[in-house]
């Protein structure tokens, strides 16, 4: 008889721990290297624009901008940016007191760091295109 009370086993993440998931990007651009370069260039521009807008946005605006960046990051396989953007949205959702402003600022800083790390890889990829 099979004992169903077995110990829980952590399953591996479906999201690679790469700064930029090149296999995902390849699939999303159908292997077209020109399209890959174009998409990465647009991502680079969008990151700069959205992060700049966050500096003057209220919490609801920051959350909306983070959501947009999350979607773009997922599209190219920039999982760390996606995770940081989602964490920022969750921080805004936590709502509330004066400490909340510091929490949002810390989450924005974490997102900026993830973006900088990813854009360094993007720059290297674009160099070979």
pTM: 0.84
The domain segmentation of the chain, as residue ranges, is: 22-127
Task: Provide the pLDDT for residue 97.
Answer: 57
Q: CA-to-CA distance for 6 and 21, rounded, in angstroms?
A: 34
- Give me the mean pLDDT over the 41-48 stretch: 97
Q: Which two tokens stand for residue 14?
A: 């479906």
CB of 54 closer than 8 Å to CB of 65: yes
In contact, 79 and 16? CB cutoff 8 Å = yes
- The total of other beta-carbon atoms located within 10 Å of residue 80's CB is 21
Q: Say which CATH class 22-127 falls into.
A: mainly alpha
**pLDDT number for residue 96:** 56
> How much is the pLDDT for 12?
45
The torsion defined by the Cα of 72, 78, 79 and 85, in degrees rounded to 10, comes to: -50
Task: List % helix, strand, coil for the chain (3-state, nearest 5).
Answer: 70, 0, 30
pLDDT tens profile 6-34: 554 454 445 566 899 999 999 999 999 99
Mean pLDDT of 49-53: 98
**pLDDT digit string, tens, across residues 54-89:** 999 999 999 999 999 999 999 999 999 999 999 999
């Amino acid at each position: 008889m099979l004992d169903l009370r077995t110990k829980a086993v952590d399953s591996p993440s479906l999201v690679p721990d790469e700064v930029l998931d090149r296999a995902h990007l390849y699939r999303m651009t159908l292997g077209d290297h020109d399209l890959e370069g174009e998409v990465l260039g647009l991502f680079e521009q969008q990151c700069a624009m959205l992060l700049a807008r966050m500096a003057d946005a209220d919490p609801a605006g920051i959350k909306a901008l983070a959501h947009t960046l999350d979607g773009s990051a997922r599209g190219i396989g920039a999982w760390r940016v996606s995770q940081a953007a989602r964490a920022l949205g969750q921080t805004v959702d936590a709502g509330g007191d004066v400490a909340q402003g510091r929490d949002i600022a810390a989450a924005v800083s974490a997102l900026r760091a993830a973006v900088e790390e990813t854009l360094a890889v993007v720059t290297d990829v674009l160099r070979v295109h």
